Structure 1
Amino acid sequence: MKLFDVFVKESPNKVFIGLITGVITGVTFSFLIPLVLIALDYSGQELQEVASERKWLMLEVNNPVLAMVFFATCIFIIVLKTFSQSLMASVALNAASNLRLNIYRRINSAPIAQIESLGQSKLVSIVTGDIPRIIAGVSAIPDLMISLMSVFGVLAFMAFISFQTFLFILATIVFGLVTYQVPLMIGQRYYAKARPLYDKLHESIRGIIFGAKELKLNEEKREAFYKEDLESLELEIRKKEKTGFILMQGANNYGDLISFLVVGVVTFIISNYIKLSNAQLVGVVMALIYMISPIHAILQCLPLISVGNVSLGRLNWLLDNLHEEVLQSTRVKAPEWQKIYLKNVCYDYSHGAEGKEKFQLGPVNLTLSKGEVTYIVGGNGSGKSTMSKMITQHYLPSAGTIYFDNVPVDEANRASYRHTITSIYSDYYLFNRILGHKDSDVDTIVSDYLVELGLAEKVTVQNGHFSTILLSDGQKRRLALLVALLENRDLYVFDEWAADQDPSFKDTFYNHYLPLLRNQGKAVVVITHDDRYFDLADKIIWMESGNVSRTTTPGVLGTDIYHFKDEKAGTT
């Protein structure tokens, strides 16, 4: 898909009308030139004979009829060109807006595994860097097309005056545009080489922001990161973009002089080889001078469109690698369920995030029940988060099947079952308002929770919007818990929720909220390392190297803090 295709496909009828009106504008302007030549061709004798008839609006006017036609034509050109530009600009704005909406929709409907595989930095780079360049390129297309139509109209007038002169001028313009494209294309290649570096730069920027605490503690590390990850990338990007800019700017300056060079050649050289009257020569020169403006506009638009095409190539690559999930609407409510069964479930990271191609989860067999709190524990990299994402239907098993009661999850019902689940992952995102909650008393409910969670002095709510989310990590997690409780789903998954909580709220989470959800008949899954609260679980799933090593049921034993009754291991 090219940039011009994006523009035309948006509204072909409007583009066609804009092109026609652009042609009419160019042709109409060329009509002004013979009007001026006719007016200037009057002899003094003819002018004196009608001197008494030259009063118009208290002004002395030579040839009032021609003057009225001239000014009426100017007004017509202004109106028609404005209409054409407005129409084309409307199409460009719609195309740019729909392009942004399309990429938002694609990201919103893409599988989580694909988003993780592409990487946050690359997505952010394309959305914040490439899309604005595409929009600038699309926005330049209307000016390019209108200017082209104006040039075609003037060239048609030149052909009428002298076909030989027209052919020479056309050949000269074509030669100028072709030679103009050479440095432009080279400059475009430098910009294209610079674009992938922005992905790395975005990742390094994330490092200097989110890794500030670690860098502050080690001067050598901080200096190495600055020199090797930030400064080196900036210098490389600067070098490539500077070279591209110089080439493109040189091409622009060369392009600005193309029209004047043609004027000079026609005036000083061609007039000696092609027989032209003074009127014809003046007409050709006037037409060439008029063409300076639209040709300049064309040359200004071409670099924007060229850079836009580079960015569009990256966007097309993203769209080719970002597939929409094929799911039916959540309007079909999932049937009530009591248990979730994972049967011989596997997940292969060759379809997942970068750097984890060799890791495989499973095969896993386990059961989750409503009215139970299940802990998932294990070391880092044991597969806890991966399994939880399969439970929440974010990851699709590469083998095996997940059942809600006796119903296997598939494309027809996955969206509906997702609608019964809520989760707070360790890398959760906190929105600044309550989404999808239509209760008219939402502010009252949220305010009560804010008091209960110790956030009333930090956050208020109005019309479902939080007054702030600039909170500590622990406070943000409590606000995320509030939102999860409002959703009132059948299955809750908490990934290390209590990790950033102070002892008081950590205790509240395990001793109050988890039992509360259990008593409400919810299925609760908690990924945790807090072994002091293991006795509060109904079941503990132990994971190691991508497999369930054992399943235990905790119980209190006299002098020991806890003991665990082993059940059948959940692996095959």
Structure 2
Amino acid sequence: MNLIYFLLRYSWGMIAIAIFAGFLSGGSSAGLIALISRAASRDLGSSLAIAIGGFVALAIVALITSIISQVMLIRLSQNAVLKLRMGLSRQILSSELSHLEELGNPRLLATLTEDVQTVADGVYQMPSLFINIAIVLGCMAYITWLSWLVVIMVIGLAVVAISICQWLLNRGKKLLALAREDQDVLFKHLGSITQGIKELKLHYGRRQVFLEKQLLSTVTSFRRHNVDGLTFFAATSSLGQLIFFFAIGFVIFVLPNLLSITPQSLSGYLLTFTYLVLPMESIISKLPLFSRASIALSKIESLGLSLASRAEVVKVPPQRKSSWHYLQFKGVTHTYRTEEPASNFILGPINLQFSPQEIVFIVGGNGSGKSTLAKLITGLYIPEAGEIVFDGEPITEQNREWYRQNFAVVFSDFYLFEDLLGLEDSNLDTQAQKYLKLLQLDHKVKVEHGKLSTTALSQGQRKRLALLTAYLEDRPIYLFDEWAADQDPVFKKSFYCQLLPHLRARGKTILVISHDDHYFHVADRIIKLDYGQIEYDKDLHL
């Protein structure tokens, strides 16, 4: 039912029209069965011409209303899935980064890919479901017209059958829900294959333990729950077919001994029940698909509620300031949470101030909190305590989006887009080529219509392309997280001794997370972190 509610949320009017058209189609089909039954029993008499006209009219109505119902439901379901994909993507992008990291990439990817596709597969089948239900109801109306006693007997039989089928369906749905939980873990392991392929290939023992214990255990559990769940659905499908054959046998062998039935009525019952086999088989065969779609939709809604609970205010930010005077952090703290609360990492309290046109190095050992501080500085993490003040204006949820627009950042785990998205400038290609020459990439990469000719480069060269994007963004504050780690010695020197001073000369503030102590003299200040605390903040000019 939640699939129907899902569609109703988008356009109950279109659903109502489509269902009404479907019922007309089903009723017309039932009328055709009635006419065929009477014609087969030679019970038309002098009304043959009327019957032929009625047959043609009913056939046309059944055809037109079936097309109308299916087309409307197809359009509605496609629009609903489109809005579901876009809505979920917007929710993810508007949720707090720390919350997304807690949820983990495997869950987000499984929902965005598998769950959305499963829901799409389910709603794509909704048109045929409604049409088949309408046909079943129309045929039942015809049977009622023939004899209400027969309908009561059929309903009694159906209640028993539905009770058994419902028990089987519930068992199957629970097992498929467990399979869906296994899928999250499976996505995590599949991510380990793609991201850790080199480490797995270099260590036979690690690879075998991963394959035989972790991956095999998960896929085995996933297969078992799927097989057991689908077995219950297969039993339901077979039982449904058997019930209809049982109903036909009941009409042929038992009903004539209980009631006085004319041959014409008996022919009508047989023809109707025989005709019902196909739509009922179609409905029952799609039950596993609808159950999977229902489970997937529940997972999507659960994720959506989780994302909504940590959603940020998203609105078009005002234009950045042309100049600024200071950026201050007052008692800012952030807790990096892990699965074990006792091992949570706390950064802060941080008390810092940055000024225009200075180069600041942020240094410290691994795990000291440098990357966490970078995310706090750029507004990606929201302080749990303290405040950030930018030119006297406290940063809150109302202006955080605007605050972030002041930073051009290249993180150590950067992502490189092939298109220079969001950079609308008629002179963009020319500017990009100038910077490519500065970054010594002009012989490998070209920019045409805001698109990079290739990103299939070494990690160091890809980082230069990320720096290209930062250059083109032309923002007041630049932050580089271990940018030089993958560069050759010659370009590393060029980065520290030429590129950074060049940016400062253009009026930029540059924050650099680095371990390259040979180049600390380039900085105006050095901030050292140790286990989440500022050990010292040293001005090299004093």
Comparing 150-159 with 444-453, which one deviates more in the overlay? 444-453
Partner of 1:58: none
Q: Which amino acid aligns with 1:515?
A: P
Is the 1:539–1:553 Cα contact (8 Å) retained in structure 2? yes
Shift of 1:259: 2.2
Deviation of residue 191 (structure 1)? 1.4
Report if the CA contact (8 A) 1:378-1:543 is conserved. Answer: yes
| Partner in structure 2 of residue 410 of structure 1 | 396
Tell me if structure 1 keeps the 8 A contact 2:233–2:288. yes
Structure 1 residues 354 and 385, CA gap change in structure 2 (3 angstroms): farther
1:115–1:278: structure 2 CA closer, same or farther, 3 Å change rule? Answer: same
Counterpart pick for 1:171 among 150, 156, 159:
156
**How is 1:247-266 mapped onto 2 (pairs within 5 angstroms)?**
247-266=232-251
For residue 460 of structure 2, the aligned residue among 450, 454, 474 is 474
Which residue of structure 2 lines up, in the alignment, with residue 349 of structure 1? 336
Q: CA deviation at 1:206?
A: 1.9
Q: Confirm or deny: 8 A CA contact 2:30 2:139 kept in the other structure.
A: yes
**Offset of 1:66 from its aligned partner?**
2.5
Equivalences for residues 31-50 of structure 1 within 5 A: 31-42=31-42
Residues 109-508 of structure 1 aligned to structure 2 (within 5 Å): 109-323=94-308, 324-331=311-318, 333-334=320-321, 336-350=323-337, 354=339, 358-508=344-494
1-structure distance, mates of 2:443, 2:339: 42
CA contact (8 A) 2:419 2:450 kept: yes
Distance 1:76 1:23 in 2: 11
Equivalent AA in structure 1 for residue 149 of structure 2: Q
Q: Which secondary structure state, in structure 2, belongs to the residue aligned with residue 403 of structure 1?
A: strand
Tell me how far 1:467 sits from its aligned partner: 2.1
d(CA) in 2 for partners of 1:315 and 1:477? 35
Following superposition, the deviation at residue 109 of structure 1 comes to 0.9
The answer to whether the 8 Å contact 2:369/2:532 transfers is yes
Aligned to 1:30: 30
Shift of 1:279: 0.7
Aligned CA RMSD, in angstroms, stands at 2.0
Partner of 2:537: 551
Q: TM-score, normalised by structure 2?
A: 0.95
Q: How far 1:387 sits from its partner (Å)?
A: 0.9
Q: Which one is further off, 458-467 or 481-490?
A: 458-467
Instruction: Say whether the 8 Å CA contact 1:334–1:413 is kept in structure 2.
Output: no
Q: Name the CA distance, whole Å, in 1 between partners of 2:87 and 2:462.
A: 31
Query: Which of 55, 67, 70 is the equivalent residue of 2:55?
Result: 70
Distance 2:539 2:333 in 1: 24
Equivalent position of 1:8 in the other structure:
8
- Write the letter of the residue equivalent to 2:117: P
Compared CA separation, residues 258 and 465, structure 1 to 2 (3 A): farther
Match of 1:52 in 2: none
Equivalent pair of 2:328/2:389 in contact (CA under 8 Å)? yes
Q: Is 2:517 aligned against 1:531?
A: yes
Residue 67 of structure 1: how far off its partner (Å): 2.5
The answer to whether the 8 A contact 1:165-1:274 is kept is no
C-alpha contact 2:230 2:288 (8 A) present in aligned 1: no
503, 507, 510: which one aligns with 1:517: 503
Partner secondary structure for residue 521 of structure 2: helix
Larger radius of gyration: 1
How far apart, CA to CA, are the structure 2 residues paired with 1:165 and 1:147?
22
Give the 3-state SS of the residue equivalent to 2:125 in structure 1: helix
Q: Does the Cα contact within 8 Å between 1:534 and 1:554 map onto a contact in 2?
A: no
SS of residue paired to 2:330: strand
Call closer, same or farther: CA 1:38–1:234 in 2, change over 3 Å: closer
Cα distance, 1:329 vs. partner?
2.6
1:144 touches 1:298 (CA, 8 Å); kept in 2? yes
SS at match of 2:351: strand
Deviations 1:231-262 (A, max 9, x none): 22112211221222222222222223332221
Amino acid at match of 1:524: I
Alignment CA distance shift 1:424-1:23 (3 Å)? same
Q: Deviations over 1:73-106 (max 9, x none)?
A: 2122111111111111211111111111111110
In the aligned structure 1, how far is the partner of 2:340 from the partner of 2:419?
35
CA distance in 1, matches of 2:280, 2:406: 61
Aligned partner letter, 1:489 = R
Q: CA deviation at 1:334?
A: 4.9
Mean alpha-carbon deviation: is it higher for 82-91 or for 451-460? Answer: 451-460
Deviations 1:315-352 (A, max 9, x none): 122112113202443035457422111111111234xx
> What is the alpha-carbon distance in structure 2 between the residues aligned to residue 521 and residue 464 of structure 1?
26
3-state SS in 1 of match to 2:215: helix
The secondary structure found in structure 1 opposite 2:307 is: coil
With 226-235 and 275-284 compared, the bigger mean Cα shift is at 226-235
For 1:554, the aligned partner's letter is L
Identical residues among aligned pairs (%): 35
Q: Distance in 1 between matches of 2:528 and 2:202?
A: 35
CA contact (8 A) 1:143 1:301 kept: no
| Contact 1:327–1:414 under 8 Å retained in 2 | no
The verdict on how the C-alpha distance between 1:410 and 1:336 changes in structure 2, with shifts beyond 3 A counting, is farther
Deviation at 1:531, TM superposition (A): 0.6
TM-score of the pair, normalised by structure 1: 0.90
Give the C-alpha shift of residue 31 in structure 1: 1.4
- State whether residues 333 and 348 of structure 2, in contact with CA within 8 Å, keep that contact through their aligned partners in structure 1: yes
Give, as a single letter, the amino acid of the residue that structure 2 aligns with 1:99. Answer: L
> How far apart, in 2, do the equivalents of 1:229 and 1:34 lie?
60
Relative to 1, partners in 2 of residues 1:484 and 1:335: Cα closer, same or farther, differing over 3 Å?
Answer: closer
How many angstroms does 1:184 deviate by? Answer: 2.2
Structure 1 stretch 62-71 or stretch 15-24: which is displaced more? 62-71
| Secondary structure of 2:380 counterpart | coil
- Distance in 1, Cα, partners of 2:89 & 2:345: 30
**Kept after mapping to 1: 8 A contact 2:476/2:508:** yes
- CA–CA distance in 2 between the matches of 1:176 and 1:90? 35
* Cα distance change, pair 329–92 in 1 and its aligned pair in 2 (3 A): same
Deviates more, 1:540-549 or 1:19-28: 19-28
What whole-Å deviation, never above 9, does each CA across 1:406-457 have from its counterpart, x for those lacking one?
1111122211111111111111111110011111221222222223222233
Distance in 2, Cα, partners of 1:397 & 1:75 = 67
Partners of 2:320 and 2:406 within 8 A in 1:
no
> Which amino acid counterpart does residue 210 of structure 1 have in structure 2?
Q
> How far, CA to CA, are the matches of 1:433 and 1:328 in structure 2?
24
- Compared CA separation, residues 440 and 389, structure 1 to 2 (3 A): same
User: Which amino acid in 1 is paired with 2:430?
Assistant: T
Q: Hey, what's the Cα distance between the residues in 2 that align with 1:257 and 1:470?
A: 59
Q: Distance in 1 between matches of 2:128 and 2:43?
A: 41
Q: Secondary structure at the match of 1:32?
A: helix
